[in-house]
């Protein structure tokens, strides 16, 4: 259960689509999803419609779509998904396992109720940790809403038979809430290293930017409120007379403000999300990528863009907390440069260093590619996720008993 799913272009929806498609090769999988936010095609509005995509049954509810710029609109949209998803889930046959993500963040409570209703196992798949994310970003203040969000997440964590977190930093956060560590499994997000491969940097996309002889610095992904993207624009203003080109690729709540701040900067351009089949070309067109995350968010969010950048064989500058998962991966693989978050002056220094050290940047990209193949490739991480599903089952062969429900089986091989 998660609002975002194919054909939505949000990172969590794309990752969940890949996960379920791969699991569907061995299991019967259904997803209760909502209407996509960033798809421009006309979308029919029905209470519930059934679709099929890559072997996965999709039960799509007609929740209200929303703009992330409007807090009230976002609340209404997420609550409408929650109510309709609960109605759809109650109507399903008994599953073996219910998996709930964190879009919306109160899905943990619904998962706990459905676990008892269906008498099945529950897996809580944390992509974000609430209310910590909202508090650190300043979107929430201590009070009733914050207490309700904490309670909702805590109910899901305590009732889950298995909790899947994205890294050691998120694991530390969950353990600090008093949760039994034996229930936790670390399964990082991933990239398909077979589809996203290193390509020629001076490809057709880059040539269309007329960026020859300049260091192309790219931010690719959701233009949200947790990354502090205005610091990139501030750095771009400082570097506007130097051989640097800034490329923003994606959509999100902060994009309009960023474009307004960058008005008049000829070396800054904004592009929409690129088609998935061109992702390798898009990521590969950059000399160096940016992975910013607001200070204090380590363990609450793990930027999934890291794994696509590693797979593309490109270096990056990560403005993240020193105890974050991104920083740990960077130190271990020497695949990028880490600086403190929310510090545009340090970002300027790092970019200037990149202008003068192209060979070091290339070596970082090569090391990152090797790590992506070994640890963060899609088949590796999906296998780890499937192992976590098996571990939460009451029997050695949990998926051979019956073939019904949200994650039943047609399992024919171990």
Say which residues have a Cβ less than 8 Å from residue 160's Cβ, sequence separation at least 6.
Answer: 108, 111, 112, 122, 123, 124, 183
Closest CA to 331 of 322, 319, 343: 322
What's the rounded Cα separation, in Å, for the pair 193 and 373? Answer: 6
Per-residue pLDDT at 139: 86
Residue indicated by tokens 């969010």: 301
Report the predicted TM-score, pTM, of the whole model to 2 decimal places.
0.90
Per-residue pLDDT at 171: 98
Per-residue pLDDT at 212: 79
Helices and strands (H, E) in the chain, number of each type: 15, 14
Q: What is the pLDDT along the chain (414 residues), one digit of tens a residue?
A: 999 999 988 889 999 999 999 999 999 999 999 988 766 555 566 789 999 999 999 999 988 776 556 666 677 778 899 999 999 999 889 999 999 999 999 999 999 999 999 999 999 999 999 999 999 988 889 999 999 999 999 999 999 999 999 999 999 999 999 999 999 999 999 999 999 999 988 888 888 888 878 999 999 999 987 788 999 999 999 999 999 999 999 998 899 999 999 999 999 999 999 888 899 999 999 999 999 999 999 999 999 999 999 999 999 999 999 999 999 999 999 999 999 999 999 999 999 999 999 999 999 999 999 999 999 999 999 999 999 998 886 554 443 333 333 433 322 222
What's the rounded Cα separation, in Å, for the pair 173 and 216? Answer: 36
Per-residue pLDDT at 412: 29
Q: Catalogue all structural domains in the chain, each as residue range(s) with its CATH number.
A: 11-190+377-409 (3.40.50.2000), 204-375 (3.40.50.2000)
């Amino acid at each position: 259960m998660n609002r975002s799913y194919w054909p939505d272009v949000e990172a969590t929806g794309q990752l969940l689509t890949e996960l379920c498609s791969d699991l569907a090769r061995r299991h019967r999988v259904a997803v209760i999803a909502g209407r996509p936010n960033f798809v421009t095609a006309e979308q029919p509005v029905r209470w519930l419609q059934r679709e099929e995509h890559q072997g996965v049954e999709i039960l799509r509810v007609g929740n209200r779509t929303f703009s992330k710029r409007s807090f009230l609109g976002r609340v209404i949209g997420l609550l409408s998904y929650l109510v309709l998803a609960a109605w759809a889930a109650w109507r399903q046959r008994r599953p073996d396992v219910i998996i709930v993500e964190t879009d919306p963040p109160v899905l943990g409570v619904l998962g706990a109720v459905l676990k008892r209703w269906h008498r099945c196992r529950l897996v809580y798949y944390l992509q974000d940790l609430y209310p910590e994310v909202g508090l650190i970003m300043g979107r929430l203040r201590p009070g009733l809403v914050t207490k309700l969000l904490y309670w909702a997440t805590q109910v899901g964590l305590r009732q889950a038979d298995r909790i899947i977190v994205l890294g050691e930093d998120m694991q530390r956060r969950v353990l600090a809430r008093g949760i039994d560590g034996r229930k936790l499994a670390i399964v990082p997000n991933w990239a398909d290293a077979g589809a996203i491969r290193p390509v020629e940097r001076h490809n057709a996309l880059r040539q269309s930017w007329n960026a020859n002889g300049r260091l192309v610095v790219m931010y690719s992904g959701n233009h949200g409120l947790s990354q502090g993207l205005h610091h990139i624009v501030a750095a771009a203003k400082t570097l506007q007379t130097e051989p640097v080109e800034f490329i923003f690729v994606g959509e999100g709540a902060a994009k309009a403000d960023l474009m307004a701040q960058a008005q008049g900067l000829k070396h800054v351009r904004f592009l929409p999300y690129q088609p998935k089949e061109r992702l390798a070309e898009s990521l590969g067109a950059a000399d160096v990528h940016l992975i910013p995350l607001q200070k204090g968010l380590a363990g609450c969010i793990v930027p999934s863009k890291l794994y696509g950048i590693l797979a593309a064989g490109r270096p990056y500058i990560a403005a993240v907390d020193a105890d974050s998962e991104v920083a740990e991966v960077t130190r271990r693989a020497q695949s990028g440069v880490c600086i403190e978050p929310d510090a545009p002056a340090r970002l300027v220094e790092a970019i200037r260093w990149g202008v003068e050290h192209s060979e070091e940047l290339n070596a970082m990209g090569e090391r990152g590619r090797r790590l992506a193949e070994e640890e963060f490739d899609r088949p590796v991480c999906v296998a780890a996720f499937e192992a976590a599903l098996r571990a939460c089952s009451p029997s050695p062969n949990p998926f051979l008993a019956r073939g019904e429900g949200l994650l039943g089986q047609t399992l024919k091989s171990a």
